[in-house]
Amino acid sequence: MSERRIYIDSSGAISILDEVVIDGHRSVSSRARVVTHIHSDHIVNLMPSIGSSYRLIGTHVTLSWLPVLGYPVMASSIYLSYGTRIKVGSVRLELVKSHHIPGTAQVLAELEDGYRVLYSSDFKKPGESTPLVEADTLIIDAVYGRPSYVRRFDDVIEDLLVDLVRQLLSESSVHIYGYYGKLNEVMELLRSRGVDAPFILPSKVYMMTKKAENLGHRVEDYILLGTREASEVMRNGWYVYLDHTTRAHSRASRSASSISSIILSGWEFEKPIKKLANRTWHVAFSDHSDFRGLIQYVASVKPRKVYVVRARSNGAEEFAAYVSENLGIKEVVVA
Ligand SMILES: [Zn+2]
């Protein structure tokens, strides 16, 4: 396969045959931009792509969330369901489900000669809730690319989080802070485990939840912050408030004893739950596979060549060296 077919720039934009660009922008005349999900490192330079009238391609959830975050989605955009194939120029494209935040997709691109290129995007639980496909070339973000980035408690973290929320709810209201999308995953998790306290949501989280619910991500009993109904529920004191992680410290520091705060972060490897001061807990609830999951994913894809995307990796070189030494893949490139 010609080297010119794949180009990855320093911002993490992945260009295939100069026809499709994934999770970044290129000024060459690509026809379309695939958005794998709405996290900020995957919508880099999205406005220039929109301004260049690329067709946006993404799942229904992803494309319906972009306007909530301030990105207009043009009428020419393609709402693509998992498993449906389309042709963009000479590239056949398919979005493959990924367990990360709602709407997230792996991207499988098949070239005219049948050569398969797979971009992992973000995922967790490979082979369980993230399906695995084989490809000739794999492009991967090694988010936890160092062998020390291992969370031994990943299998039980959902149970621990649900138990903690239940316990805290019996004492106070609970505030949960995490990234957009992860909050939706947590809401779905809590409901699936029978936590039925009302959710109070600030406007962006509320709108994202409403759009996701219209697409089948049922949550129920969520209320917009600032409404009279929300004020009444909050006076009552039995509720879960969910907001973006950047609001955690300002709110947590103001927290009264009637509020417990949970901050979600994957960057904890020693303990699943850490109690901080001020009725605040850190929970190592991650939307990413740890190092072991990344290696398992690469091994299952069985690629002949691997690109590790430096812009979205931590420990890209270490990860590349480990893959070539331990999985016997000769061509591993950090790009
Ligand atoms: Zn992500």
pLDDT-based confidence at 278, cuts 50/70/90?
confident
CA of 122 to the centre of ligand 1 (A): 5
- Measure the CA–CA gap between 331 and 240, rounded to whole angstroms: 48
Pick the CATH number of 154-283 from 1.10.1060, 3.40.50, 2.170.120, 1.20.1740: 3.40.50
Cα 30 to averaged position of ligand 1 atoms, centre (Å): 24
Query: Which residues, including other chains, have CB under 8 Å from residue 321's CB and lie 6 or more apart?
Result: 332
253 Cα–ligand 1 center, Å: 27
Q: Tell me, what's the pLDDT at 1?
A: 42
Is the distance from CB of 318 to CB of 308 less than 8 angstroms? no
| Structure confidence at residue 59 (pLDDT) | 98
pLDDT at 52: 87
Distances in Å between the Cα of 112 and the Cα atoms of 92, 175, 180, 260 are: 8, 51, 37, 55
Residue 258 has pLDDT above 90, yes or no: no
What separation in Å is there between the alpha carbon of 63 and the centre of ligand 1?
15
Token pair in block for residue 131 = 């399906």
How would residue 254 be classed by pLDDT, with cut points 50, 70 and 90? Answer: low
Ligand 1 center to residue 100 CA distance, Å?
Answer: 7
Residue 215 burial (CB count, 10 A): 14
Å from CA of 27 to ligand 1 middle: 24
- Would you say residue 3 has pLDDT above 90? no
Task: Tell me if 32 sits within 8 A of 109, measured CB to CB.
Answer: no
Dist. CA 228 → ligand 1 center (Å) = 34
Which among 257, 311, 306, 264 has a CA at the least distance from the CA of 288? 264
- Whether 154-283 and 3-148+289-334 are alike in CATH topology: the answer is no
Instruction: Report the b/e string of 23-32 with b at 16+ CB within 10 A.
Output: bbbbeeebeb
Confidence (pLDDT) at 2: 47
User: Which pLDDT does position 251 carry in this prediction?
Assistant: 60
128 CA → ligand 1 middle, Å: 18
Q: Among 154, 103, 99, 155, which residue's Cα sits nearest to residue 126?
A: 99
From the list 166, 104, 160, the residue with the least C-alpha distance to 129 is: 104
Task: Please tell me the distance between residue 154's alpha carbon and the centre of ligand 1 in angstroms.
Answer: 17
CA 38 to centroid of ligand 1, rounded, Å:
7
Centre of ligand 1 to C-alpha 181, Å, is 9
- 36: CA distance to ligand 1 center in Å? 9
> Taking the domains of the chain in order of start, what are their residue ranges?
3-148+289-334, 154-283
Confidence band (pLDDT; 50, 70, 90) for 31? confident
Angstrom distances, CA of residue 148 to CA of 151, 158, 270, 296: 9, 22, 11, 15
Return d(Cα 136, Cα 144) in angstroms, integer. Answer: 23
Tokens of 157: 């973290």
3-class DSSP state of 133: coil
Average pLDDT rounded to a whole number, residues 278-286: 93
Ligand 1 centroid vs 153 CA: distance in angstroms?
20
Cα 287 to ligand 1 centre (Å): 7
Å from CA of 196 to ligand 1 middle:
27
Residues contacting 199, CB < 8 A, separation 6+: 187, 209, 219, 221, 222, 223, 239, 240, 241, 242
Q: What is the number of helices (H) and of strands (E) in the chain? A: 9, 20
Percent of the chain with pLDDT over 70: 96
Count Cβ atoms below 10 Å from residue 98 Cβ, excluding itself.
26
CA of 104 to the centre of ligand 1 (A): 8
Q: CA-to-CA distance for 93 and 96, rounded, in angstroms?
A: 10
- pTM > 0.85: yes
Q: Which residue has the higher pLDDT, 255 or 81?
A: 81
Name which of 173, 203, 198 is nearest 187 in CA terms.
198
290-318 pLDDT, tens digit each: 999 999 999 999 999 999 999 999 999 99
**Residue 191 parent element (H or E):** helix 182-192
3 state DSSP class of 248? helix
> What is the CB neighbour count within 10 angstroms for residue 146?
17
**pLDDT tens-digit map of 134-160:** 999 999 999 999 999 999 999 999 999
CA 195 / ligand 1 centre spacing (Å):
25
User: Can you tell me the distance from the alpha carbon of 29 to that of 129, in angstroms, rounded to the nearest whole number?
Assistant: 36
- With a cut of 60, say whether residue 289 has pLDDT above it: yes
CA of 39 to the centre of ligand 1 (A): 5
Q: What is residue 238's predicted lDDT score, i.e. its pLDDT?
A: 95
Read off the pLDDT band of 322 (50, 70, 90). very high
**CATH assignment of 3-148+289-334?**
3.60.15.10
Give residue-wise pLDDT tens across range 171-198.
Answer: 999 999 999 999 999 999 999 999 999 9
Report residue 280: phi and psi, to 5°.
-120, 135
Residues around ion ligand 1, judged by CB within 5 A, are 39, 122
Ligand 1 center to residue 144 CA distance, Å? 12
More confident residue, 257 or 21: 21
Spacing, Cα 232 to ligand 1 middle (Å) = 35
**Quick one: pLDDT at residue 28?**
77
